Chain A
Amino acid sequence: MMVLRFLLLSTFFWSSSLFSQTRVTQEQKEKFLALDAFQKQLIQEKIALTEAEYNRFAPLYKDYQLKLSRSKKSFRKKWYPITPQKYSDAKAASYIKDVVKLQRTETDLFEVYSEKISNVIGSAKTLLLMEFRSTLEKRLVEKALELGIQEN
């Protein structure tokens, strides 16, 4: 009886983890693939990466972006809405402390992944990437709007 109960509970938890994944239609998936191809095209044109270099660079850059986003999301979740003008001394001190912690995380990620990416594409191209990043993101958002990804 105890074994059955354990199996039942474990099945509940496993199934919940399975259903937590994002599911999109085939059409949406194709739009995202098109967006990936657009990004590849922009980076290769601006930074002059070969096919092999891009295949090694893309996973690293994606991993770096995800980790950075995760740290910012956790900070935003804790402090949303961010209204520094309304904070008391204690709260402001706590906010500064968390900001310092976030920036330390950003610095660590930058140090680690700048070295990894530099090993793949070189330090000069890494600097070009830093300079081109803002334009790249804006172009990606425009392309996503053009493809109609926001429509579910």
Chain B
Amino acid sequence: MATLESKKLKSPYAPSKEKMNDIAYRIQSNVGVSAQEVFTIRQTSFIEQKKSPVQLSVEFGATTAKIAAPESVQPPIEEENQSVYEREITTQPQKEASPVPSNKYVETEITEIIPDTVDKGLSATENDALTPQIPQRPVPPVYKIATNNSQVQEDYNETPTDEDSLNESEAAKSGVRSVQIPWASILGFVATAMAVVGAWWVWNNIQKPSSVEDVVQTVSDQNSTATIIESSESTKNEITIEPKLVELPEEYRSLNNLLSQQESMQGTYLDFSGSSEPSKINMVKLEKKGMIVLELEDDLFNPLRL
């Protein structure tokens, strides 16, 4: 007999296959038709559990120890009662059995899991009424952990070997620990040193005034006297020639006057370069006191003074 396909049903909701089968069997039984399965239900097999799970210790400070869990003992799955869907029809006459396969619910091994469809159209009570009684399967056993934690206690109390201590000392020596360099302190020291050096440099430059001797020496070096060459006396009669004086033309007289005035003006200022060394020293000291003013060495520009 062809089974109904959910795709051909034009309904807003997608009922579960179990419910539909249940409804179908009820209807069929009431009508007197041999019960037939409407939808094929695939039964999922149990999921294999890990035989040796990694279980963390609950004790504080204890190392993680793998505790070998006892082998899981899966209870045998009871075969589903076939009487759930198989009902004896006694009240109503049975029709001739059509050549159809047995209506027994055969348990088959299924590899893939098909999720149940969501039941949308029915209310909660209706759903409860339509849902068949699911056989209660035995509760899987709870894997009890050893309360002694003997294994864990042994690991906790395990004393470090010498090899471990050596490893720790080597790590310390190699500088595994983070070393923090005090950069702020180093910069502070550098800044302080620079400030001290700068102050010392300024101190020395201020403390070193040019001495009078230095000034005198520099000025005297500028106006170094020429070496005197001793002339040898000659026995020859020296002939002295007197210069012949001529009258200066008029156009040159103003120039002559200007030159003579400049010579006189030069005499109004102290001749530092032409003075003796003690006089030079005195001139420098008097200038510092504000008693005299030393003019520049060049005579190109006439100063204006009170």
Contacts and interface: CB of A to CB of B under 8 A. Distances in A.
Nearest to A62: B290
Interface in A41-83: 61-66, 68-69, 72, 75-76, 80-82
A91 B296 CA distance: 18
- For the residues of A in contact with B, the DSSP-based class is helix
Contact of A16 (B207, B285, B287, B294): B207
Contacts of B212: 150
A72 B306 contact: no
Contact of B202 (A13, A69, A133): A13
B203 A12 contact: yes
A110 B222 contact: no
A141 B287 CA distance: 10
Contacts of B207: 16, 19-20
B153 to A, nearest CB: 55
A120 interface: no
Nearest to B302: A103
Interface string A3-33: 0010001001101110110100000000010
B291 A39 contact: yes
A146 B202 CA distance: 38
A133 B305 CA distance: 9
B278 interface: yes
Contacts of B268: 133-134
B107 interface: no
A122 interface: no
Interface residues of A, number: 50
B199 A144 contact: no
Interface string B288-306: 1111111111101101111
B58 interface: no
A79 B276 CA distance: 24
A110 B195 CA distance: 44
A141 B282 contact: yes
A84 to B, nearest CB: 6
Contact of B285 (A80, A106, A110, A150): A150
A120 to B, nearest CB: 13
Contacts of B303: 103, 106
A75 to B, nearest CB: 7
B296 A103 contact: no
Contact of B306 (A12, A64, A138, A144): A64
A32 to B, nearest CB: 7
Nearest to B287: A69
Given A69-B290, A137-B291, A150-B278, 12 more contacts: A9-B199, A15-B203, A16-B203, A32-B289, A35-B289, A68-B305, A72-B294, A76-B296, A81-B297, A82-B297, A113-B306, A150-B285
Interface of B: 188, 192, 195-196, 199, 202-203, 206-207, 209, 212, 218, 222, 267-270, 275, 278-279, 281-283, 285-298, 300-301, 303-306
In order of increasing CB-CB distance, the 3 nearest A-B pairs are A150-B281, A144-B282, A12-B199
Interface of A: 1, 5, 9, 12-13, 15-17, 19-20, 22, 32, 35, 39, 61-66, 68-69, 72, 75-76, 80-82, 84, 99, 103, 106-107, 110, 113-114, 117, 126, 129-130, 133-134, 137-138, 140-141, 144-145, 149-150
